[in-house]
Structure 1
Amino acid sequence: MTKTKGLTTFDLKIIGIIFMFINHVHQMFYWTNVPEWMEWCGRPVATLFFFVSVIGFTHTRNKSKYLGRLLIGSWVMTLGTMLVTHFFSIGDMALQNNIFNDLFLGVLAMYGIDKLNQFRQTKNLSTLLLGLFCLIFPVLSYFVILSLITVVPINMARFLFLIPSGMTAENGMMIYLMPLMYLAKNKKAIQMLFIALASLFFLTRDPSAFMTTNTQWMMIFSLIPIFFFNGQKGRSMKSFFYVFYPAHIWILFIISAIIYQHFG
């Protein structure tokens, strides 16, 4: 069998995982003065995973189940991080990593687009309302948590973060890049344009901090592997990421916390 030229979905995931790991080593061991370029490696990662999620959602047979897996992943990540940070700490560092939260919100918005398209055919009001709700949920949940967090007892407030929202999303409202790319799911050039425009937004938002605190513009480098994407799935790694993502973050954090306790 002749191997298709270019990068498959599997290849994109592996590239993302490698650069994500380098970035998280920087994050967990920042106190050892690890080089800044390690942090830069993480800037294209979320965009790459957003692109892969658009591909995955487009081709999955059961979109509700796809959403459910991401929601469970978000809950597991939140509760697991609460447990890990209860026993371990690195100075005043807050461990807030949860890409599942971002992916769930983006996929939910894509689900909303599907429902709006369905409404155009059925004219069913409940379908319209569901579609709109899914689209605005990241913003709606942001304000719900914001209003509740000041009135809920402090020992219970942390559990509000089990609700995926724009407030707890690692990439904030950049999660809407996913539904934008979904609208252009069969036009990779337009998807790449959306990424480039988002990168330009971050670059121009604070140009004085170019290459210092403003590094999110480096998401544009995700265009390199995306350009070479050949539209093929490649090898399956359906469950690997769901295990690897939380496991490597918790392990790196625990190792760093133990070293920090003795030498920090």
Structure 2
Amino acid sequence: MTALTALDTKKKGGGVSADLLKLLALVSMTIDHYAAIVIYNGNLYGFSTEYHEMAIATAEGKRLMQLYHIFRTIGRLAFPIFAFLLTEGFIHTKDRKKYFFRVLLMAIFSEVPFDLCLYNQWYNFSAQNIGFTLSLGIAAMYFMKKFRRKSILKWTSVLICAALAELLRCDYGALGIFLIASLYNFRKEKALRIASGIFFSISLSLANFGAAALSFIPIFFYNGEKGRIPLGRLFYFYYPLHLTLFYLLIYFGAKITA
């Protein structure tokens, strides 16, 4: 029996690779963040309530608002795929502690551009970026593995990580941790893994009619292979860099004036 998970396809080379899933998640995330940062905070909000009321009253503002909702719905696909890939990375990595610290370091470096994009402030503790959610997800999986024969300790660890995600106001909060934990817990049972993933994804995206659940269509066809797209550890660099770029776009970009 190979080390591949239960979601692998029988025909080697068929299906969807990890790299293709990662690319899909990156594209979805970029579209989502463009909508939230450039369209909304830049064009429609401008970090000013008075400006926002003026902007959405214009014809251009109404068109941008429609585009904003479409892009945000597309963006719901990203997190479940990243959560799934995180569990796969945890399963196959040779050093789980290094894996945790890589993600945590990305989260720390991303927090300033994240706060600038959301609040136009260098530091704001109202919300923390997705890197911290993923870091807590790795911690949850670590303790799930450590206490795999002690159910009470195992699930108590998950609840503590979920509580920390809420306390720290991490992106997606406790539901994000529960999604990661469920995908890891049912890693050898395809039907339960997909079903639990869909359940928590719908819960995460009720405002967008459960659109996040659609991410499990490509995940269903995951073949357990890395793939041939040379993405490597692109996400660690891309995440803070694209936030920085989008903030520069709204900082130097023009707002709606009429």
Coarse TM-score class (shorter-chain normalised): 0.7 to 0.9
Normalising to structure 1: TM-score of the pair?
0.72
Change (3 A) 1:67 1:216: farther
Secondary structure, in 3 states, of the residue corresponding to 2:27? helix
Show the counterpart of 1:123: none
User: What is the CA RMSD across the aligned residues, in angstroms?
Assistant: 3.3
Letter of the 1:256 counterpart: I
Aligned-pair distance for 1:37?
A: 1.0
Show the counterpart of 2:5: none
Are 1:219 and 2:228 an aligned pair? no
CA contact (8 A) 1:111 1:134 kept: no
Aligned-pair distance for 1:195?
A: 1.9
Alignment partners' CA distance in 2, 1:202 and 1:237: 27
Aligned-pair distance for 1:137?
A: 3.4
Aligned-pair distance for 1:27?
A: 0.8
Are 1:59 and 2:59 an aligned pair? no
Show the counterpart of 1:170: 171
CA contact (8 A) 2:19 2:226 kept: yes
Alignment partners' CA distance in 2, 1:238 and 1:133: 34
Alignment partners' CA distance in 1, 2:186 and 2:226: 19
Decide which moves more: 194-203 or 55-64. Answer: 194-203
Letter of the 2:174 counterpart: M
Are 1:22 and 2:15 an aligned pair? no
Secondary structure, in 3 states, of the residue corresponding to 2:148? helix
Identity %: 24
Show the counterpart of 1:238: 232
Show the counterpart of 1:146: none
Aligned-pair distance for 1:77?
A: 1.3
Show the counterpart of 1:185: 187
Alignment partners' CA distance in 2, 1:117 and 1:9: 26
Change (3 A) 1:101 1:114: same
CA contact (8 A) 2:83 2:179 kept: yes
Letter of the 1:239 counterpart: R
Show the counterpart of 1:73: 106
Are 1:107 and 2:130 an aligned pair? no
Aligned residue pairs total 220
Change (3 A) 1:141 1:89: closer
Letter of the 2:110 counterpart: M
Letter of the 1:141 counterpart: L
Alignment partners' CA distance in 1, 2:34 and 2:126: 13
Change (3 A) 1:118 1:201: closer
For 1:12, which of 16, 21, 29 is the aligned residue? 21
Stretches of structure 1 that go unaligned for 5 or more consecutive residues are: 121-127, 143-164, 207-213
Letter of the 1:215 counterpart: N
Alignment partners' CA distance in 2, 1:48 and 1:166: 24
Deviations 1:205-227 (A, max 9, x none): x7xxxxxxx11611110011111
Aligned-pair distance for 1:201?
A: 4.2
Change (3 A) 1:166 1:215: farther
Show the counterpart of 2:200: 198
CA contact (8 A) 1:101 1:168 kept: no
Aligned-pair distance for 1:257?
A: 2.5
CA contact (8 A) 2:127 2:170 kept: no
